[in-house]
Amino acid sequence: MARSVRATVASARGRVRARRLHPPSRATARLVALLGFLGPGLIAANAGNDAGGIATYASVGAKYGYDLLWLMVLITVSLIVVQEMAARMGAITGKGLAELIREQYGVRWSSFSTFSVLIANLGICISEFVGIGAALSLAHVPKYVSVPIAALVVWLLLVRGSYKAAERVFVLMTIPFFAYPVAAVLAHPHWGQVGHAIVVPHVQANSGYLYLLIATAATTITPFMQLYVQSAVVERGIGADELNAERAEVAVGSIFANVVAGFVIVATGATLFVHGHRTVSSAADAAKALEPFAGRYAEVLFAIGLLGASLLAAAILPVTAAYVVAETFGFEKGIRHDPRDAPVFVGVVTVLIVIGTIVALLPGVHVIGLLVGVQVVNGVLLPITLFFVWRLASSRELMGRHANGRLFNALAGATVLATSALSLLLLGVTVAGLG
């Protein structure tokens, strides 16, 4: 018995010495450090590049070529500003946006925001499962197989997984977005024209151009992104001492997401626009349309990107809605909790996934009409959400020395006013049927 114990101890010591003699490789250490750095900012920004977003960017490229690439530069600045304020509030206050709205402005505003988020997120969640089915249908996998499996995997990740595990999976889900830059290169764009379009704004005076300009801005900055990033910062336990690192992560995530969006425009502009294929009704249609001009691999890459985008957003949207409901009514929240400890949070996640799956499987579901309705809700919600983000982040009483400075506050105010105006314009033209 004593010999057995001594042998076990010796074996354990040997393993420890072996680990010391053979530490993890530099590549492994760098990957671990990178996964530790990336998080809420990258996830939120890339979740905005969902099936509806990809369809919008593809429509921009197909109809107007590279003409709207300059807008992506301005939107990137706006996205960084808005997401930074949300992340900063989460780190300093330790509370989600819905909870702060309830505490500072009352239950009515918080309840209105919660109801709007539920409606909008449900609509977008449905479109994500439709996107999953569409992406895998290009590989001849029926949606009646792909959608339920994807829904089960997402549910298990959110309900049975830990926050760290879920976040790492979310980060890994951004890898398929690299497919879009590769697809753009395969499309052989005129890079000189691309560079010129980025630097020199080109504006057309027609309703179609105006509609897509507004839709591009609105689909890049959506309410669920601010709500998610703030709540995720809180759940991750990021505090004031890690604020600078989180600011950098938000900036990197926003830039990466919008570079990807820019490459979608480049890929479709270099193929569909050049060859006169000017109409795109969905991201899957764009993937199919690429094949005659850029080859089979471009279609496959576009489909891979669509699948990754839809999976990521299908996971983030239910979580965001659950965060908002729990924060508004004071229930336990978070992926880290056992389902029995946070039944409302888990219930909201489950209901959104189940409804999204069922509607996505219905034959003849009018997805475009659904997305238009969601745009209307987001058009109303975005100005309200951004106003609260701006005013709360500016409050010295709430944020102390971490409140917006004068220069940043002016930039933030201009960003909020501009994006809100564009969102309301989108609401107007959508209701008027001008799109």
The pLDDT mean for the chain works out to: 83
| More confident: 330 or 357 | 357
List alpha helices for 237-339, DSSP H. 243-268, 283-294, 296-329
The structure tokens 């219930």 sit at: 347
Percentage with pLDDT > 70 across the chain: 86
Lowest mean pLDDT among 303-312, 317-326, 422-431: 422-431
- pLDDT, residue 1, reads 47
Query: Average pLDDT in the 122-147 region?
Result: 88
Span 144-190, pLDDT tens digits:
999 999 999 999 999 887 778 888 888 888 888 888 898 888 888 99
Contact between 171 and 256 under an 8 Å Cβ cutoff? The reply is: no
Contact between 315 and 228 under an 8 Å Cβ cutoff? The reply is: no
The Cα–Cα gap between 429 and 175 comes to 35
- pLDDT, residue 61, reads 92
Kindly state the tokens that stand for 383.
């100005």
Q: Please give the single-letter amino acid code of residue 281.
A: S
- Residue 5 confidence class, pLDDT cut points 50, 70, 90: very low
The Cα–Cα gap between 245 and 235 comes to 16
Span 353-378, pLDDT tens digits:
999 999 999 886 655 556 556 666 67
Give the closest residue to 383 by CA, choosing from 122, 109, 170. 109
Span 18-73, pLDDT tens digits:
444 455 565 545 544 544 557 888 998 888 888 888 888 988 999 999 999 999 99
- Give the global pTM: 0.83
C-alpha pair distances (Å), 277 with each of 63, 263, 292, 299, 368: 8, 18, 11, 15, 19
Lowest mean pLDDT among 34-48, 197-211, 399-413: 34-48
Residue 264: how many CA atoms within 13 Å on its side-chain side?
A: 34
- Residue 2 confidence class, pLDDT cut points 50, 70, 90: very low
- 408: Cβ contacts below 8 Å, ≥ 6 apart: 81
The Cα–Cα gap between 186 and 305 comes to 15
Query: Average pLDDT in the 96-105 region?
Result: 92
- The pLDDT of residue 262 is above 70: yes
- pLDDT, residue 8, reads 45
The Cα–Cα gap between 300 and 227 comes to 33
The Cα–Cα gap between 170 and 187 comes to 28
| More confident: 191 or 213 | 191
Contact between 173 and 158 under an 8 Å Cβ cutoff? The reply is: no
| More confident: 246 or 432 | 246
The Cα–Cα gap between 283 and 329 comes to 37
- Residue 263 confidence class, pLDDT cut points 50, 70, 90: very high
List alpha helices for 39-190, DSSP H. 40-47, 51-64, 69-93, 97-105, 107-137, 143-160, 163-172, 179-186
Cα 33 from chain centroid (whole Å): 22
Give the closest residue to 216 by CA, choosing from 398, 406, 49, 33. 49
Pick the CATH number of 39-432 from 3.40.50.620, 1.10.357.10, 1.10.10.370, 1.20.1740.10: 1.20.1740.10
The structure tokens 């354990």 sit at: 12
